[in-house]
Amino acid sequence: MIDKVFNKTISKQFEFDEEVASVFDDMLERSVPFYKQMQKLSISFANNFLKDNSYVYDLGCSTASTLIELSKNSSFKLNLVGIDNSNAMLDHASKKANAFGVNIKLLNDDIFNVELKNASVVFSNYTLQFIRPINREKLVKKIYDSLEVGGVFIFSEKLVSQDSFLNKQFIDEYYSFKKAQGYSEFEIAQKREALENVLIPYTEEENKKMIKDAGFKHCETLFRWVNFATFIAIK
């Protein structure tokens, strides 16, 4: 379904409710530059750290796209666990996983409440940015603790620049991308307002510092387009 959520006047903050969930796959593909390519890269790198019976977690799995794609593009028999605290998202995830015949354990809970164990790979794409900064470090430490030595945390984030002049150009470039994807200036402005104080992006350096502070041995940027990036951190 085509995303028209912000085509009307909106006065509430952005939420992952049924209205968003029902158009979410289209929203992501048209709102995150190179979304599919970043997902493919995440999966390709993840496969390097997997074997039969490995545990893979996706924190903020939404409609389970990443785990379904991994399952279709891995030669291993995996234990796939998707975690999200939006009922609406998980309804869609469950229907999609069934339709593709992929077995995923879907947990409807806050990421902070779920015990993560023996992980070979933890994904969290465009989700840390929705976690209050005061809790974000704590979550990354939890992810670190859940990983086996040699395991990886693969995550994607919207970014800001430390330089305010460049940051303004990042935003302009991003809005041009959205316009080219068919979003109107009105939709772009409405969504920007709804995301204010809900989506809190870090710089690339802040993300890497957070990863290092949690104890990870190494972190690389796998892909970056202006204000969106995918990282891989190894324990």
Ligand X SMILES: O=C(O)C(=O)C[C@]1(C(=O)O)C=C[C@@H](O)C=C1
Ligand Y SMILES: C[S@@+](CC[C@H](N)C(=O)[O-])C[C@H]1O[C@@H](n2cnc3c(N)ncnc32)[C@H](O)[C@@H]1O
Q: Which of 114, 195, 222, 226 binds ligand X (CB under 6 A)?
A: 195
86 binds, among ligand Y, ligand X, none (CB under 5 to 8 A by kind): ligand Y
- Write down the least CB distance from residue 112 to ligand Y, Å: 6
Min dist. Cβ of residue 75 to ligand Y (A): 22
**Region binding ligand X by CB under 6 A among candidate stretches 26-34, 48-56, 160-168, 204-212:** 26-34
Are β-strands 218-225 and 228-234 bridged in parallel, bridged antiparallel, or unpaired? antiparallel
Unique residue bearing structure tokens 């990042």: 170
CA 197 to each of CA 8, 14, 19, 143, 208: distance values in angstroms, whole numbers, following the listed order = 21, 10, 20, 24, 22
The pair of structure tokens assigned to 182 is: 């068919």
Q: Which stretch binds ligand X (CB under 6 A): 28-36, 43-51, 145-153, 159-167?
A: 28-36
How far apart CA 138 and CA 133 sit, in angstroms, is 9
Which amino acid is present at 218?
H
- Residues at the site binding ligand Y, with contacts judged by CB under 6 A: 16, 28, 60-62, 65-66, 83-86, 89, 110-111, 125-127, 130
- Using the rule CB under 6 A, is 161 a contact of ligand X? no
The stretch among 23-31, 52-60, 99-107, 207-215 that binds ligand X (CB under 6 A) is: 23-31
3-state helix, strand, coil in the chain (%, to 5): 45, 20, 30
- Pick between residue 27 and residue 81 the one whose CB is nearest to ligand X: 27
Residue 92 binds to ligand X (criterion: CB under 6 A): no
**Residue 54 vs residues 47, 74, 80, 118, 148: alpha-carbon distances, Å:** 10, 12, 8, 8, 10
Site mask, ligand X, residues 196-235, x = CB under 6 A?
Answer: ---x------------------------------------
Residues annotated within the binding site are: 35, 60-62, 84-85, 110-111, 125, 192
Alpha-carbon distances, residue 232 vs 89, 99, 171, 187 (angstroms): 25, 30, 25, 32
